[in-house]
A = this chain, B = another copy of it.
Amino acid sequence: MPVLHIVNKSPYDRNSLDTCLRLARADAAILLIEDGIYAAQKNAAASDKVQHALGKHPIYALQPDLQARGINPDNMIEGISLVDYDGFVKLTTEYDKLQSWL
């Protein structure tokens, strides 16, 4: 089973999302947590690359982190799935390698 990539940094502050997208294989999934959830917002500078990545990877975002930061689900890029912490744990059981892009 493939890799779950976890990104916890804003795509505007750090290079971690870029590196994740460069090194994630087509069968891998991506989970955005903490400040990583800013990548989920639509109509922003990073939206195009995230939209494009959705063609290759399932992308998830941690709902508690979105809510904390005031990002309305209506402003999320379509196709990104929201998970709570229970869903986060479930993802880590479904993918057998976990790669946190610290």
A-to-B contact residues, CB < 8 Å: 12-15
Contact = CB atoms under 8 A, between A and B. Distances in A.
Contacts of A14: 13-15
Contacts of A15: 12-14
CB-CB nearest 5 A-B residue pairs: A13-B15, A14-B14, A13-B14, A12-B15, A14-B15
A13 B9 CA distance: 11
A83 to B, nearest CB: 28
Contacts of A13: 14-15
5 contacts: A12-B15, A13-B14, A13-B15, A14-B14, A14-B15
Contacts of A12: 15
A13 B101 CA distance: 12
Nearest to A10: B15
A14 B9 CA distance: 11
A23 to B, nearest CB: 15
